[in-house]
Amino acid sequence: MLEKALIGSKRYWLWIGALLVVIGIAFIQYLHQFSYGLGITGLSRDVSWGLYIGQFTFLVGVAASAVMLVIPYYLHDFKKFGKIVILGEFLAVSAVTMCVLFIFVDMGQPMRIMNVVLHPTPNSIMFWDFIVLTGYLVLNIVIGWTTLGADRKGVHPPQWVKPLIYLSVPWAVSIHTVTAFLYAGIPGRHFWLTAIMAARFLASAFAGGPALLIILSLLVRKLTKFDPGAEPIQALGKIVTYAMFANVFFLGLEFFTAFYSNIPGHMAPIEYLYTGFEGHGKLVSIMWTSSILAVLSLTLLVFPALRRNENILAVACVSMFVSLWIDKGFGLIVGGFVPNMFEGITEYWPTVPETIITIGVWAIGFLVLTVLYKVAVAVREEGGYHD
C-alpha cells in the first residue's frame, strides 16, 4: 500500500519537500548539539529538562488519544467512526515516533540508548515507559495497516487483529499513566508530586488529541476527495468538550490544594508560573495565554449551536491545542524545576538551536503523518471503505 504515498499532486510533493528542508536544517543543528553537547540548549544544572521532554510528554497524550475513536467504534459499535478511526491510529504512530525522537535528542549519550534494554531496570519508570511506548507503536502500526489493507480489498479485517484492538485500549491508558508516573513519583518536586497527575494527563490527552484530529479531519476534507463526514467530527467535538472540562477541573484541584493548605513549597511553582516568584516570571505571559485560550475554547465548545458551525469548531480546537501545548509541553516541566531544590530560582528559556531541533522533530512527525494519511486517503478515495 505504501506505493500510494509515491503518487501525488504537485502540492503534495511541495509539502513533502518543505518538510524535508526543515528536517535537514534541524539535522545540521542536531549534529552541532551532538558535538558541542546539550550546553547549546537553555537547560542548566537546575532546570535539567525542558522543551524536548515537554514535547515528549505532550505527544504521549496525542498518541493515547486514538483510544477515543477506538472505544466508541470497536467497543460500542459506533459505526460513524468507521471512516476516521484509521486517522486516529496513524496519528498515534506519528506521535509515538516523535516521542521516541524527543527522548533521543534529549539524551546526553544517545549512542548508549540500548543500555535501557541491555540492563533492564524494572524499578525505573523510564524502563516501563520504554516498553509501553514501543508496544503501543507496534500495536498501532499493525492494527492500522491490517484494517486499512482489509478495507482496500473490501473484506473484513482478519480475526486475529481483534484481540490486538482490545489490547490497545488499556495500552493507550497505560502509556499516559506511566508517563505521568515519571513525574508523580519523585520526592521533593512539589509541582509534580500529585496523585491527580495521571488523571489530568489522560483528561488533557483526550482533549488535545481529538482536537488535533478534528483539525486534521477538516484539512483532509479540504485537501482531498475523502470526506471524514460531519457527524464523526461533531461526535469528536463532544468528546473534546467533556475531556477539556475534566482537565480544567483537575487543574483547579491543584490550585485549591496548594493555596488552601497554604504550604509554601506547594504554592511556589504555581506562583512562579502564573504571577512570577521573587521577581522572576519568564513564563507568566505564556501561562496566561494558555489559560485564556482554554476559556475561549470551552466557551465556543460548550454551546452546541456554536460547536455545530465547523469554522467555530476549528477555532475552538486550535485554541485548545495551543493552550494544552503550552500547559503540558512547557509549563508542566519548567514548573517542576522552579524553584529548584534549594528554593532558589534559575529560569529556563529554550535557545534558538534547541527550538530548531524541536521544530525538526515535529517536521519528521508531520512527514510520517502525511505519508500514512496519504495511503489511508488513497484507499478511501478508491472507495475502499465498506461499512
- Chain residues in the site for another protein (CB under 8 A): 36-39, 41, 43-46, 48-49, 103, 106-110, 112-113, 115-116, 118-119, 121, 123-127, 130, 182, 185-189, 264-265, 336-337, 340-344, 346
**In angstroms, what is the minimal distance from the CB of 192 to another protein?**
8
Taking CA atoms, 74 is separated from 24, 161, 166, in Å, by 40, 12, 8
Distance CA 192, CA 184 (A): 5
Provide, rounded to whole angstroms, the least separation between the CB of residue 239 and another protein.
Answer: 32
- Residue 30 CB, shortest distance to another protein, in Å, is 13
Query: Is the Cβ of residue 96 or residue 371 nearer to another protein in the bound state?
Result: 96
Place of cell 522543551: 51
Minimum CB distance to another protein, residue 348 (Å) = 10
Determine the Cα–Cα distance for residues 143 and 132; give it in Å rounded to an integer.
16
Beta carbon nearer to another protein, 180 or 182? 182
Pick 180 or 377: Cβ nearer another protein: 180
Nearest distance, CB of residue 130 and another protein, angstroms: 7
Q: Name which of 107 and 138 has its Cβ closer to another protein.
A: 107
17 contacts: CB under 8 Å, gap ≥ 6: none
With a CB cutoff of 8 Å and minimum separation 6, the contacts of 10 are none
Task: Please report how close the Cβ of residue 135 comes to another protein at its closest, in angstroms.
Answer: 16
Cβ partners under 8 Å of residue 295, min gap 6: none
Q: Which CB sits closer to another protein, 189 or 307?
A: 189
Q: Which residues is 280 bridged to in the sheet?
A: 277
Closest approach of Cβ 204 to another protein, in Å? Answer: 20
Report the residue number, 265 or 384, with the smaller CB distance to another protein: 265
In this complex, which beta carbon is closest to another protein, that of residue 38 or of residue 283? 38
Q: CB of residue 99 vs another protein: minimum separation in angstroms? A: 14
Cβ proximity to another protein, 123 vs 159, nearer residue? 123
> How far, CA to CA in Å, does 260 sit from each of 6, 195, 252, 255, 266?
59, 17, 12, 8, 10
